[in-house]
Amino acid sequence: MPTGVAMRDARELLFGAAERVLLRDGPEALTSRAVTTEAGCAKGLLHKHFTDFDGFLAELVLDRIRRLADRGAELLEAAGQGSVVDNLTAMLTDLFGSVAVAIVSLTISRDGLRARLRTAVPTGVPILSEAGQVIRDYLAAEQAYGRIAPDADTDVLGLTLIGSTHMLFADRTGTRPTTDAVRTFVASVVLG
């Protein structure tokens, strides 16, 4: 890799490589050597831009949380439009069809990473806690539009959707649930 590569480009190169290793091989295979090999760069690039490997992983998780916040803003803008079930199904399938499930496994398996993330995410499981808030905010907005029952507990609904959908997608080596299966589950929670 040439010297003088912009920090943002190096971050994205390394974050993309880390995601590929994480999705393909799981959290136990995620090492600085695996990331830099996947990225096709010298190991020194990672250490030039990050204090250590847990620092790199913490920045990866925080970056993915920021992306989730952007996706959450899009979901909130969809409140009052389309189908509530379809909007939630798309959000949950997108969230858990991505690297989120692997990030949960990663944060659970690395004490140093979890400790670093506690300053930014003081409670709950990083990415799942934020995803739960995104879903609860959306449900509250839909409730304000009259599309969710006025007596529905949107906090309970949101946490149920996040936790149960995570369980549907948790086995990274098994068959992924279909969109129809997720939609059926979402409908049973939201409409049932």
Closest CA to 60 of 107, 24, 97, 26: 107
> Residue 97: what pLDDT?
77
pTM for the model: 0.85
Beta carbons within 10 angstroms of residue 73's beta carbon: 12
DSSP 147: S
pLDDT-derived band at 22 (thresholds 50, 70, 90) equals: very high
Delimiting residues of CATH 1.10.10.60 domain(s) in the chain: 1-50
Residue 49's contacts (CB-CB under 8 Å, 6 or more residues apart) are: 7, 10, 11, 14, 56
Looking at residues 141-155, what average pLDDT do you find? 96
Helix (H, G, I), strand (E, B) or coil at 174: coil
Topology (CATH) of 1-50: Arc Repressor Mutant, subunit A (1.10.10)
Give CATH 1.10.357 domain extents, the chain: 63-190
In the 8-state DSSP scheme, what is residue 178?
P
Q: Which residue has the tokens 């979901």?
A: 75
CA distances from 80 to 64, 140, 142 (A): 27, 11, 6
Q: Topology of domain 63-190, per CATH? A: Tetracycline Repressor; domain 2 (1.10.357)
Give the 3-state secondary structure of 116-139. HHCCCCCCCCCCHHHHHHHHHHHH
| 70-110 confidence digits (pLDDT tens) | 999 999 999 999 999 999 999 999 888 778 888 888 998 88
Backbone phi, psi, residue 173, to 5°: -100, -10
- The CA angle 136-139-145, to the nearest 5 degrees, is 145
pLDDT in tens, 26-80: 899 999 999 999 999 988 899 898 989 999 999 999 999 999 899 999 999 999 9
